[in-house]
Amino acid sequence: MSFKRYQGKKVFITGGSAGIGKGIALELAKAGASVIVSARGKSNLEQTVKELNAVGSPTAIFDYSVLDVSDKNAADKAAKKAIQTLGGLDILICSSGFAKTGEASDMKDEVYRNLMDVNYFGHVNITLAFQDHFRKQKSGEIAFLASTLAFFSIYGYGAYSASKFAIVGFAQAFRQEMMLHNVKVKLFFPPTTDTPGLEKENTDKPLLSKEIEMGSALNVVHKIESVAEAILKWLPNKKFFGYTGWDSWLQYFLFRHFPEFSIRLTDSELKSAQARLDKKQKVL
Ligand SMILES: NC(=O)c1ccc[n+]([C@@H]2O[C@H](COP(=O)([O-])OP(=O)(O)OC[C@H]3O[C@@H](n4cnc5c(N)ncnc54)[C@H](OP(=O)(O)O)[C@@H]3O)[C@@H](O)[C@H]2O)c1
């Protein structure tokens, strides 16, 4: 797919060293954009910059920024440096984040807080770090990646979903504030995507959560490339909310228009999953 509109654009991506963020970075580089990828781990960032140089324009700038997005001061410094390196900024993509599942009572307090610090405050910190630049410039685009679990939740995802629901509230108000400065703020709900993050999430996911997902017709695992493409296609359009695939669309439609019905639907998926698990355990 050709994304000509991104040619010459200056972009900063949190979570740009892996998964969806890296997928977006690669597509942008192919389209002729300059990109700074940001994350905590230096070696993945170096590897990503190598890959960006291999596919990108020889006149574009590719660099990385080692940053823990939960650290507000570090985010401020990273933003200043990125604007210097690129000579400005047109697009900020907030893709950093992680999932940790488990029954509410089994999760340690620090896990609840860490999820909020990274998934919610991480997006807030980096956005506020760049906001003066965008306001002065009177143009720009900011994309928040949340999750389909930012508009509904199920067994085992309470702490994670809370950190993603929080983004939705912030993004809606922030959108209006920035609209007055001609800056676009948008919110994407990524579906289940085959990334290193998903692989890690699945290592200690409760059996019942896994069973629900296996039995759900709406849990399709998407490829990084198709999610990255969907995000870059949606970014210039007028719609504030973005999602990809019929599965996300149907989930969004049901929860928005038929919330009580949808809650009962997820309850019936939970009961069926529990029954299947009980049966499997009897066989063993
Ligand atoms: N994959 C899915 O199924 C799925 C579904 C719904 C929503 N999402 C959301 O989509 C986004 C991307 O997910 P993904 O699956 O592509 O994740 P991923 O493969 O785990 O990649 C996450 C990226 O974020 C960085 N990161 C993690 N913690 C960070 C921190 N504290 N500070 C700065 N960077 C940090 C990681 O690098 P370092 O670890 O080196 O910092 C990495 O570059 C996340 O917000 C995720 O919650 C994913």
Supply the pLDDT for residue 277: 94
- 39 in contact with ligand 1, CB cutoff 6 A: yes
Supply the pLDDT for residue 219: 84
CA–centroid distance, residue 99 to ligand 1 (Å): 8
The residue contributing the CA closest to ligand 1 atom 36 is: 15
For the segment 55-65, what is each residue's pLDDT rounded down to a tens digit? 999 999 999 99
The β-bridge partners of 10 are 34
For the segment 163-221, what is each residue's pLDDT rounded down to a tens digit? 999 999 999 999 999 999 999 999 999 999 999 999 999 999 999 999 999 988 888 99
CA–centroid distance, residue 98 to ligand 1 (Å): 5
Residue 107 — φ and ψ, nearest 5°?
A: -85, 135
Taking the C-alpha atoms of residue 227 and residue 8, their distance in angstroms, rounded to an integer, is 22
The residue contributing the CA closest to ligand 1 atom 31 is: 68
For the segment 210-263, what is each residue's pLDDT rounded down to a tens digit? 999 998 888 899 999 999 999 999 999 999 999 998 999 999 999 999 999 999
Instruction: Express as a percent the part of the chain with pLDDT over 90.
Output: 94
Taking the C-alpha atoms of residue 133 and residue 90, their distance in angstroms, rounded to an integer, is 10
The β-bridge partners of 91 are 11, 141
What's the CATH code, domain 4-207+220-257?
A: 3.40.50.720
Asked if the model's pLDDT at residue 284 lies above 90, the reply is no
- 245 in contact with ligand 1, CB cutoff 6 A: no
Residue 25 and residue 39 in contact, taking contact as beta carbons nearer than 8 Å: no
- 116 in contact with ligand 1, CB cutoff 6 A: no
CA–centroid distance, residue 225 to ligand 1 (Å): 15
- 95 in contact with ligand 1, CB cutoff 6 A: yes
CA–centroid distance, residue 146 to ligand 1 (Å): 10
Taking the C-alpha atoms of residue 137 and residue 146, their distance in angstroms, rounded to an integer, is 26
Instruction: Express as a percent the part of the chain with pLDDT over 70.
Output: 99
The residue contributing the CA closest to ligand 1 atom 41 is: 40
Pocket test for ligand 1, best of 44, 70, 96, 167 (most atoms within 8 A of CB): 96
**Domain definitions of the chain by residue range:** 4-207+220-257
What average pLDDT does the segment 114-124 reach? 98
CA–centroid distance, residue 95 to ligand 1 (Å): 6
Supply the pLDDT for residue 12: 99
Average pLDDT, the chain: 96
Atom number of ligand 1 nearest to Cα 41: 40
What average pLDDT does the segment 36-42 reach? 98
CA–centroid distance, residue 15 to ligand 1 (Å): 5
Supply the pLDDT for residue 2: 73
Taking the C-alpha atoms of residue 94 and residue 97, their distance in angstroms, rounded to an integer, is 9
Supply the pLDDT for residue 190: 98
- 161 in contact with ligand 1, CB cutoff 6 A: no
Residue 107 and residue 100 in contact, taking contact as beta carbons nearer than 8 Å: yes
For the segment 139-151, what is each residue's pLDDT rounded down to a tens digit? 999 999 999 999 9
- 198 in contact with ligand 1, CB cutoff 6 A: yes
- At position 182, the amino acid (one-letter code) is N
Give me the helix-helix angle, 42-55 and 19-30, nearest 10°: 30
CA–centroid distance, residue 9 to ligand 1 (Å): 23
Asked if the model's pLDDT at residue 83 lies above 80, the reply is yes
Atom number of ligand 1 nearest to Cα 68: 32
Atom number of ligand 1 nearest to Cα 44: 40
Residue 24 and residue 37 in contact, taking contact as beta carbons nearer than 8 Å: no
